[in-house]
């Protein structure tokens, strides 16, 4: 399973639209959680599985005006670690790939 979805909104916290914050968290953190949750029983049954979550340097560091993106990527890092701890005894690994800064339309 490879989770690689991302959207961005740049705004200071005091002006950040809560609906945009929720949408970013839903796409970049809740969706991977739901996909992992759906895939794990099958991986456990096979005694093998690989989960790769595409995070970001923002999963390790923070940048101003990116509260939702940074929060989602930090959450994805934690989710990946918990999944690795729970899945290890079933032959399932979970890791994050953390690309550095990339100039994209995000």
Active site residues: 69
What gap in Å lies between CA 12 and CA 39, rounded to an integer?
A: 36
What gap in Å lies between CA 27 and CA 70, rounded to an integer?
A: 13
Q: At a CB cut-off of 8 Å and minimum separation 6, what does 53 contact? A: 2, 3, 4, 32, 76, 79, 80, 94, 95, 96, 97
Task: Give the tokens for residue 92.
Answer: 């399932």
């Amino acid at each position: 399973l490879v989770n690689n979805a991302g959207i961005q909104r740049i705004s200071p916290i005091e002006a950040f639209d809560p609906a945009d914050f929720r949408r970013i968290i839903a796409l970049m953190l809740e969706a991977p959680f739901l996909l992992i949750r759906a895939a794990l029983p099958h991986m456990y049954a096979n005694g093998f599985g690989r989960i790769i979550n595409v995070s970001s340097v923002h999963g390790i560091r923070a940048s101003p005006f990116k509260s939702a993106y940074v929060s989602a990527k930090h959450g994805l890092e934690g989710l990946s670690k918990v999944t690795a701890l729970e899945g290890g005894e079933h032959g399932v690994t979970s890791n994050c790939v953390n690309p550095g800064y990339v100039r994209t339309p995000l």
